Structure 1
Amino acid sequence: MARTKATCPKQPQDQPNYRASLKDFLERSDKPFSVTTINPRKRKRSGVDTALRAETDLFVPRLSVAYEIQPATNWDSLKRYKKFAVGSESIAVGECILVKHDMSQDDPRVDPLGQWKARVLEVRALDSEHVYIRVAWLNRPEDLVGGRQPHHGKNELIPTNQLDIIDAMTVNGGLDLVQWDESNDENSMPGIDEYFWRQTYDYANTKTFSKLPKMCRDRKPQNPDEMILQCESQKCRKWMHVDCIVKDAVQRANRETARKGKAVKIKKRASVASFALEPTPPATAIAREDGYTAEFFVRGSPDGPDDTPSEVTKIVVTDAEGEQRTEHVTCFFCHEPIEPTIST
């Protein structure tokens, strides 16, 4: 019996004129592709049984999501790549990017704060002028439900499973993003200029945030841009917000005044400014209430070349008449005086 050679069916992009028609399709729209995430529960109730794709490379398993792309045939006809170029910079799948939010601006200086951020999930292209990136958005806290909260850091981003397909021409370059695992005290804090993430938001399914560790007596998360301190007692070792410490000091001063039946006098500002003969180090945190001011000073801080650092960690309470008293820092929980280990 004679053998016959199997003939592979032609792919759409190999067919005559298909490449030209695909190029025409891509150039007819500023956004030729759309991505829709599918909630498995809603899909089951609706009885829809379409072939779905799955995305599992989204920082944490809870963000894994099903999705579909329209038009799927045109998307699948584009060649898949592992990386793409932005100027002289090469960006690979899995890396994060800065995305222009205003194509009318052509300033060569890239301001990361003014850019959208995303993670690259897939790269497809027809040619060097038609390159498309499937991404998952990295949202700022103010862009999500509830908005920016006191515990959010300046450079904090929140990964989501909100998927999109963008033109590579909108990409302004790569973005370094680090994870901050605050559950381990030994882990280093994110740098002052580093973009970081510690929490996720399930945009596609549950519309919920992952939980953050809570601390101090107010049971709120840490803001990495603000100082916290840890009790040194081995039986305690609890963390406290420095802001809570100074607020507690100023509130105690006011309660003490109320118990003694004294009126809080407001001292008017002198017409001629007076200057301190000795430099005073700037306080790490300050709280004011009803004529009292509480300042928190950290031993050895500030430590700049022109600074006079504080010799001890202390709280200084000043009343409306300018009289001061110094307090030891004590733990909210075990009430032991502490010379704390500071975290910034």
Structure 2
Amino acid sequence: MRTKQTSNAANSKKGRVARKPKDPDAQPTKRGGRKSDSNSLDPEKIKEWLDKTTEGPWTVHATAISNKRKRDAPGKMLVEDRLFEDRLNVQYEVKPRDRWEALKTYKKFTVASESIATGDCILVGHADGGEEADAGVDLAEQWKAVVLEVRALDSEHVYLRVGWLNRPEDLDSGRKDYHGEYELIPTNQMDVIDAMTVNGKIDVIRLDENNMDSQVAGENQYFWRQTFDYVGSKTFSKLRQICKDNRPQNPDEMIIECSNEGCGNWLHAKCVVEQAAKAAAEEASGKAKSNTPKKRQPRNVYTGANRPPPAAKAKQGNFTAELYLANPPSTEPDEISVKPAPTRPEIIITDPKGEKQAQDLYCLCCSKPIE
């Protein structure tokens, strides 16, 4: 696991176009635990301590929640239960606690002209600045986090307790073929960072694979669908397994639902075309297996100009398989098609000679045609 703690001194020099926040623009808000007393420590001494600190002034110590813990008991750890899923709930303590609680608590803060509140997701700069900073914010390289707490000594000393949203490649397990380009994985790894490192907020939605009516990620939309318990079990929440290969869906790629009663399985479009290309190559070489579907009736290929690009494509040897979705007939009066536009999904097989034939789309699970 790559550490993401951001130091006060380093952040004054690093961070891609990190901007200095204005005064926190809300009244202090009460939070579970002991009430902060800004007069318990001399603000000038805290300021002097902060300005001299060469590493992160605060660290967050988190542990799995114990059933024996008394909630918010004096001197005990607090509970963080706003980290996307209940499995990420942890008890934590910010150290040194007295100096952290001496700061005032706010509901939000402002970066440039953008107001950011607790619960918002943010971009956090961490790369070297210099000339590259003038080119703008590189969204892919920025760290992502959710704001859990805002505290400030004054307008020059504003700090955030955050929970990290990792890219798959930032975790030890690495990026898998089923991870989407804009996929993030929330964790219960927390740090305190300087608000000066924040480069703005981002919208992160949840993809609920078990709810067909859930929100769908748009183009260049950050999303999450599983979490990683960094503090406790070091495990991921489970993803839905689909298709004949029992693998998760890549949200950036198409999946197909079998229309046949009693089946209804979801299929990776990639698996469908890979199997079609493999079957065509095996049939041509005389090595087709006995269980290879033989109900596919080839037909001529529609050549209308309004045909969209293939939804998926695969090669096996010198054979290519392309998946096309149902395509309504053209409304252009001057367009001439060799054959009527297909009204259901089909696979186009291209042989080594470049000749094409269209086949019906068959389910990999029940071996029946998909309407």
Could you tell me which residue of structure 2 aligns to residue 53 of structure 1?
A: 78
Could you tell me which residue of structure 2 aligns to residue 167 of structure 1?
A: 194
Runs (4+) off by over 4 Å: 277-281
Q: Compare 202-211 and 52-61 and name the one that shifted more.
A: 52-61
Could you tell me which residue of structure 2 aligns to residue 228 of structure 1?
A: 255
Unaligned runs of 5+ in 2: 1-35, 70-74, 289-302
Amino acid at match of 1:244: C
Could you tell me which residue of structure 2 aligns to residue 330 of structure 1?
A: 362
Could you tell me which residue of structure 1 aligns to residue 11 of structure 2?
A: none
Q: Matched residue pairs, number?
A: 304
Query: Cα distance 1:240–1:141, how it changes in 2: closer, same or farther (>3 A)?
Result: same
Equivalent-residue separation in structure 2 for 1:77 and 1:186 (angstroms)? 46
Counterparts of 1:129-208 in structure 2, within 5 Å, are 129-208=156-235
Q: Compare 184-193 and 141-150 and name the one that shifted more.
A: 184-193
Residue from 301, 312, 315 that aligns with 2:347 = 315
Contact 1:124–1:133 (CA under 8 A) maintained in structure 2: yes
Residue from 315, 339, 358 that aligns with 1:288 = 315
Equivalent-residue separation in structure 2 for 1:209 and 1:316 (angstroms)? 39
Unaligned runs of 5+ in 1: 1-10, 45-49, 262-276, 340-344
Equivalent-residue separation in structure 2 for 1:285 and 1:328 (angstroms)? 15
Query: Cα distance 1:103–1:127, how it changes in 2: closer, same or farther (>3 A)?
Result: farther
Could you tell me which residue of structure 2 aligns to residue 240 of structure 1?
A: 267
Q: Secondary structure at the match of 1:27?
A: helix
Higher relative contact order (Cα pairs below 8 Å, separated by 6+ residues) = 2
Equivalent-residue separation in structure 2 for 1:295 and 1:14 (angstroms)? 70
Question: How much does 1:14 deviate?
Answer: 2.8
Equivalent-residue separation in structure 2 for 1:141 and 1:181 (angstroms)? 18
Scaled by the length of structure 1, the TM-score of the pair is 0.81
Question: How much does 1:321 deviate?
Answer: 1.9
Amino acid at match of 1:23: K
Counterparts of 1:240-319 in structure 2, within 5 Å, are 240-259=267-286, 279=305, 281-300=308-327, 311-312=341-342, 313-319=345-351
Contact 1:189–1:224 (CA under 8 A) maintained in structure 2: no
Residue from 244, 247, 251 that aligns with 1:217 = 244
Equivalent-residue separation in structure 2 for 1:118 and 1:220 (angstroms)? 28
Contact 2:205–2:215 (CA under 8 A) maintained in structure 1: no
Equivalent-residue separation in structure 2 for 1:13 and 1:324 (angstroms)? 77
Query: Cα distance 1:12–1:298, how it changes in 2: closer, same or farther (>3 A)?
Result: closer
Q: Compare 232-241 and 119-128 and name the one that shifted more.
A: 232-241
Say if 2:105 is the partner of 1:75. no
Could you tell me which residue of structure 2 aligns to residue 95 of structure 1?
A: 120
Larger Rg: 1
Question: How much does 1:322 deviate?
Answer: 1.7
